[in-house]
Chain A
Amino acid sequence: DAGVIQSPRHEVTEMGQEVTLRCKPISGHNSLFWYRQTMMRGLELLIYFNNNVPIDDSGMPEDRFSAKMPNASFSTLKIQPSEPRDSAVYFCASSSTTVTDTQYFGPGTRLTVL
């Protein structure tokens, strides 16, 4: 099993640019989560999907952030326009059936907004 796959692993962009982060969950997993990790705020849940449907997006910081899951094997997190305070490591995680099952994290995308 390849585990959760994220791309790109590193992204450096300039303020105002659009950024798209991608995630492929573990095959057969029905729940997908996007987290943001910073030194100041720790690990924050941004949004999670169950069976491709967004269930809770209360952690999405503002309208500049959006997430989609068009099918069971792919999700995107988009930031438009990006700002320096968006610099962080963004993790995608997936779990098998319910949100109380073990979540497996991807390697993360380190985003730097200049």
Chain B
Amino acid sequence: GENVEQHPSTLSVQEGDSAVIKCTYSDSASNYFPWYKQELGKRPQLIIDIRSNVGEKKDQRIAVTLNKTAKHFSLHITETQPEDSAVYFCAASRYKYIFGTGTRLKVLA
């Protein structure tokens, strides 16, 4: 069946450094790739998304890249801040979301 692999499972960075989270999907027909941030005890919230006809999208300190040939997509966070600490989920969607297993990001002050 369809699946999404997400790496790393945990990531610690110093404040101000960059963080990169990578996902690989199996369904080549996937055409929508959202990223969600989930703080402890809260709901997942969309932070950025990309569609299959776009290779890169940026929103302030956050960017997502998509390589359809390799079926890879990545989240890049620059100038990390303590409030970026959370669990991040990627997803790939054709007609329903398939979520990755999550990355726990810790930004050390």
Question: Which of A's residues lie within 8 Å of B, judged by CB?
Answer: 33, 42-43, 45, 48, 56, 91, 99-108
Contact = CB atoms under 8 A, between A and B. Distances in A.
B70 to A, nearest CB: 21
A43 B35 CA distance: 13
Given A42-B102, A43-B89, A103 B97 contact: yes
B43 A108 contact: yes
Interface in B52-109: 89, 93-102
Interface in B23-56: 31-32, 34, 36, 42-46, 49, 51
B43 A107 contact: yes
Given A100-B31, A102-B34, A91 B97 contact: no
B46 A48 contact: no
Contacts, number: 46
B95 A99 contact: yes
Interface residues of B, number: 22
Given A42-B101, A43-B89, A102-B34, A91 B96 contact: no
B45 A105 contact: yes
A50 to B, nearest CB: 10
Given A42-B102, A43-B99, A100 B93 contact: yes
Interface of B: 31-32, 34, 36, 42-46, 49, 51, 89, 93-102
A76 to B, nearest CB: 19
Nearest to A92: B43
Given A42-B102, A106-B43, A48 B96 contact: yes
Contacts of B34: 102-103
Contacts of B36: 105
Given A42-B101, A99-B95, A103-B34, 8 more contacts: A42-B99, A43-B89, A43-B99, A45-B97, A99-B96, A103-B97, A104-B46, A105-B45
A45 B2 CA distance: 13
